[in-house]
Amino acid sequence: MILSALKETNENETRVSVTPESVKLFLRLGFEVIIEKGAGELSGYQDSNYTDFGGKIVSRSQCLNADVCLCVRIPSSEDIKNLRNNSTLIGILNPYENKSEFENLNSKKISSCCMELIPRISRAQSMDVLSSQANLAGYRSVIDAAEQFGKAFPMMMTAAGRVNPAKVMILGVGVAGLQAIATAKRLGAVVSATDVRAATKEQVESLGGKFIMVEDEESKNAETEGGYAKEMSDEYKMKQAALIAETVAKQDIIICTALIPGKKAPILITEEMVSSMIPGSVVIDLAVEAGGNCPISKSNEIINHNGVKVVGYSNVPGRVAKDASALYAKNIFNFLSLLINKENKQINFDFEDEIIKSVVLTHNGEVKLEQFN
């Protein structure tokens, strides 16, 4: 069987689905590995790096005709038309926003595997692309904040006087939020964090952060079975907003990370809250691609709001493209290892398996996931 890696055409996408080091892993599964010319350039990989590990450099049309086609983002409608019938497409396919593309995939009997739907169970941890990419996003968000902030992070004692530590607040304590806490602490900042899930308190405090939240009956059941935050009631949101407003004005840096799968990101920091911050402060909105946790943020722009910088970089993992690609490729390898029949080296979709059942949206002309029917 032939496995291909497409060159990404989506604006601002710098990652690649196969790295040179991962080529040997896919070869081990029994695939012939082909890479679109120039696919790895934005991640720091040259075509020769792939051939050194046994990959072949080919045209886009050849990649689209492979048995298994790997990507980061869903290909264009035109590319989907050129995909091979009955083939397999694996990537972060965003089924919530690409309904027409999935109709086209289904009509060609293509098995589409949405890596962002990997369930949060222990057996699937090595395949969890959201976690691997969010880790890097959380790290990079602090680096981006430090770049925009005109002061140092750690406290410094000098002969000329003392430099006070930066005060950083993290809104949303998922994988990205926890990594942001850890990174900010390593840089010497005083860190606080808030989340609707009471279970995250211990995690925040274990990293040296101060936990802030509205504790009531609703907060005791604020987590989904998959470990994500639920959408809270309007009453809770009002309480939360009041608490955040009181704290935000005292912060130098706010990093927003709150996302709800399949829904618009919740507004956590309002325009009034940003206006209360000291000029020179920074807001990083990691949720900008999902509408943003701050109404001021705009995708791929830095907005100066009364002296406060509101940063809305999209695809933040792509700002650490080499590491993001390496982790993503390993996630896909681990998922494909589950699909491959060890005896005949063919792909076998076992829909009794919880992981496969959760990830495969279209297969053999059927929509397999009811929520997208």
Question: Do the Cβ atoms of 321 and 43 come closer than 8 Å?
Answer: yes
Helix (H, G, I), strand (E, B) or coil at 371: helix
Residue in the structure block whose two tokens are 């681990």: 334
Catalytic residue, from 43, 131, 132, 281: name it. 131
Instruction: Verify whether residue 131 is a known catalytic residue.
Output: yes
What type of residue is 314? Answer: S
Residue in the structure block whose two tokens are 């409608």: 77
Q: What is the dihedral of CA 141, 146, 150, 153, to 10 degrees?
A: 130
Max CA distance (Å), the chain: 73
Catalytic residue, from 228, 276, 299, 337: name it. 228
Instruction: Verify whether residue 45 is a known catalytic residue.
Output: no
Q: How many whole angstroms separate alpha carbon 304 and alpha carbon 145? A: 14
Instruction: Verify whether residue 228 is a known catalytic residue.
Output: yes
Helix (H, G, I), strand (E, B) or coil at 233: coil
Mapped to the 3 state alphabet, what secondary structure does 27-92 carry? Answer: HHCCCEEEEECCCCHHHCCCHHHHHHCCCEEECHHHHHCCCEEEEEECCCHHHHHHCCCCCEEEEE
Task: Write out the two tokens for 23.
Answer: 């080529």
Catalytic residue, from 22, 45, 47, 128: name it. 128
Task: Write out the two tokens for 157.
Answer: 């004692």
Instruction: Verify whether residue 128 is a known catalytic residue.
Output: yes
Helix (H, G, I), strand (E, B) or coil at 171: strand
Nearest C-alpha neighbor of 308 from the set 286, 270, 276, 268: 276
Catalytic residue, from 62, 84, 96, 120: name it. 120
Q: How many whole angstroms separate alpha carbon 305 and alpha carbon 295? A: 12
Catalytic residue, from 46, 77, 100, 125: name it. 125
Residue 212, H or E segment: strand 210-212
Question: DSSP letters along 105-161, please?
Answer: HHHTT-EEEEGGG---SGGGGGG-HHHHHHHHHHHHHHHHHHHH-SS-SS-EEETTE
Residues 6+ apart with CB under 8 A from 11: none
Number of DSSP helices (H) and strands (E) in the chain, helices first = 12, 17
Q: How many whole angstroms separate alpha carbon 54 and alpha carbon 218? A: 55
Task: Write out the two tokens for 356.
Answer: 């496969």
Question: Do the Cβ atoms of 329 and 43 come closer than 8 Å?
Answer: no
**Residues with catalytic function:** 120, 125, 128, 131, 228
